[in-house]
């Protein structure tokens, strides 16, 4: 009987460990976990799928045609599965088509590509999402327009315009030579994404978390000034927007600032992030921000690597304490427990 009871206790203990481990993955508590497509599909709770295949082995050959087929006011998750290939088209998720999960076969296999420069960032965008409750997984978004003339009507070439609330990108990539990711407004989560650009290439006034993302800086020789990775545009002291980069790494082929102040209340934090020598010693710039720097929130927490030396940092920038950074490291910064299917 004693052996039997021990076996029961051992079985219960194993069951408890398995349950806790699974719960940790689901609720984003296990930092070693990987968020993959099956887990996301499980969490949104649907297998309703529209297949898009360039070779005709699906319901549609065009991504936009598949989106157009989703009914207005859609209230249940629907999967649009983009099979491998290069989809050369502009894609728009309109505001009246929520609950779309756009699932690719991997960012090295599924690509949405367009080539357009414009005086208007939104007009130039290869991909636009203006509906809430949108998820993308395993897709590369690219604007392959050549670098235009600085300060001209052909300067903007956006890869993705994110202009809605409750949007998440997992294992995606964003490519452009300039204004790559227009993170315009709303609460957003980027997990294990790759973002490439040169000048102000992550910009807008979104309230966004970039978790374990790779930021790659390419050269832009048109300008004498150094470029910036971010240009966050928080508008006033009650505005709860901001860009938070947690873990991940920054590297590239040209010198760059972590961010410039796009407005007096600009807020950007890099935490626990590897910074290569591509980051210039001051780290931050108030270029284009008129007046005092007292309201800027350009900050770091435990950044590391050769670009993380703080002794020459801009005097208004902050090196945060554990207590100061805590609200930004929590998924509650974007109210993620209320809407994200899974996070790390």
> Has residue 8 got a pLDDT over 60?
no
Beta-bridge mates of residue 110: 85
pLDDT by residue (tens digit) across 282-338? 999 987 677 788 999 999 999 999 999 999 999 999 999 999 999 999 999 999 999
- Mean pLDDT across the stretch 92-104? 98
Residue 220: the pLDDT is 72
pLDDT band at 31 (very low <50, low <70, confident <90, very high): very low
Question: Could you please report the per-residue DSSP string of 227-274?
Answer: EEEEEE---STT---EEEEES-EEEESS-EEEEEESSTT-EEEEES-E
> Has residue 13 got a pLDDT over 50?
no
Beta-bridge mates of residue 87: 112
Say which of 200, 220, 239, 255 is annotated catalytic: 200
User: 200 an active-site residue?
Assistant: yes
Domains plus CATH for the chain? 47-167 (2.160.20.10), 198-334 (2.160.20.10)
Whether pTM exceeds 0.85 = yes
Contact 174/198 with Cβ under 8 angstroms?
A: no
- Mean pLDDT across the stretch 190-196? 98
Angle, CA 242 vertex, CA 239 and CA 246 arms, to 5°: 155
pLDDT by residue (tens digit) across 163-185? 999 999 999 999 998 789 999 99
- If you search the block for the tokens 């699932």, which residue do you land on? 103
> Has residue 148 got a pLDDT over 70?
no
Contact 269/320 with Cβ under 8 angstroms?
A: yes
> Has residue 221 got a pLDDT over 80?
no
- Mean pLDDT across the stretch 21-42? 64
Q: Which of 36-40, 144-148, 296-300 has the lowest mean pLDDT?
A: 144-148
Contact 165/184 with Cβ under 8 angstroms?
A: no
Contact 66/92 with Cβ under 8 angstroms?
A: no
Angle, CA 256 vertex, CA 254 and CA 258 arms, to 5°: 145
């Amino acid at each position: 009987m004693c052996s039997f009871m021990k076996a029961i206790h051992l079985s219960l203990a194993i069951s408890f460990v398995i349950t806790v481990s699974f719960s940790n993955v689901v609720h984003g508590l296990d930092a070693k976990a990987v968020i993959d497509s099956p887990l996301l599909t499980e969490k949104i709770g649907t297998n309703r799928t529209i297949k898009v295949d360039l070779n005709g082995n699906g319901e549609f050959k065009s991504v936009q045609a598949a989106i157009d087929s989703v009914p207005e006011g859609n209230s249940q998750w629907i999967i649009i599965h983009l099979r491998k290939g290069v989809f050369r088209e502009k894609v728009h998720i309109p505001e009246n088509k929520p609950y779309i999960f756009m699932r690719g076969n991997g960012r090295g296999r599924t690509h949405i590509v367009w080539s357009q420069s414009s005086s208007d960032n939104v007009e130039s965008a290869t991909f636009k999402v203006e509906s809430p409750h949108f998820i993308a997984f395993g897709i590369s978004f690219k604007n392959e327009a050549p670098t235009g003339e600085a300060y001209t009507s052909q300067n903007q070439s956006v890869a993705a315009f994110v202009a809605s609330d409750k949007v998440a990108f997992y294992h995606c990539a964003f490519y452009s030579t300039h204004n790559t990711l227009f993170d315009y407004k709303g609460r957003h989560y980027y997990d294990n994404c790759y973002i490439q650009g040169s000048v102000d290439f992550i910009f807008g006034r979104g309230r966004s978390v970039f978790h374990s993302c790779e930021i790659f800086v390419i050269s832009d020789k048109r300008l004498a000034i150094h470029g910036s990775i971010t240009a966050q545009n928080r508008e006033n002291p009650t505005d709860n927007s901001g860009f938070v980069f947690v873990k991940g790494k920054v590297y590239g082929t040209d010198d760059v600032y972590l961010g410039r102040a796009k407005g007096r209340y600009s807020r950007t934090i890099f935490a626990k992030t590897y910074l290569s020598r591509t980051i210039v010693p001051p780290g931050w710039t108030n270029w284009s921000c008129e007046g005092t720097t007292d309201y800027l929130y350009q900050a770091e927490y435990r950044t590391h690597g050769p670009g993380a030396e703080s002794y020459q940092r801009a005097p208004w920038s902050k090196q945060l304490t554990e207590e100061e950074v805590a609200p930004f490291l929590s998924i509650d910064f974007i109210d993620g427990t209320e809407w994200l299917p899974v996070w790390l």
